[in-house]
Amino acid sequence: MADGFDFHLNDERAVKLRAAASAAGVDATELVMQIIDTALDDGWAEDMRRIAEYERTGESISAEDWMQGLRDGIAARRAG
């Protein structure tokens, strides 16, 4: 049993990936790992949990609460 994943990029995505990696000064594999790490560290699991909860209950948060969460997240990222 493999512990990791192997996947194939079509030609268009491969070209874009190579260009982005070159611009970032890293190889394509390193860029993909950075992107994956960022995506996984950005709370995607919590987002998916909230979506599932909404689908189960139909309850959501107010736009004001959502905007405050967005503001708080931006402030936290700026703070380092």
Q: Which residues of 24-52 are buried (b: 16+ CB within 10 A; e: fewer)?
A: eeeebeebbeeeeeeeeeeeeeeeeeeee
Task: Give the pLDDT score at 2.
Answer: 58
Question: Does the pTM of the predicted model rise above 0.85?
Answer: no
Task: Give the pLDDT score at 46.
Answer: 82
> Token digits for 77?
């990222």
Task: Give the pLDDT score at 50.
Answer: 85
Distance CA 58, CA 51 (A): 10
* Residue 2 identity: A
Confidence band for 12, pLDDT divided at 50, 70 and 90: very high
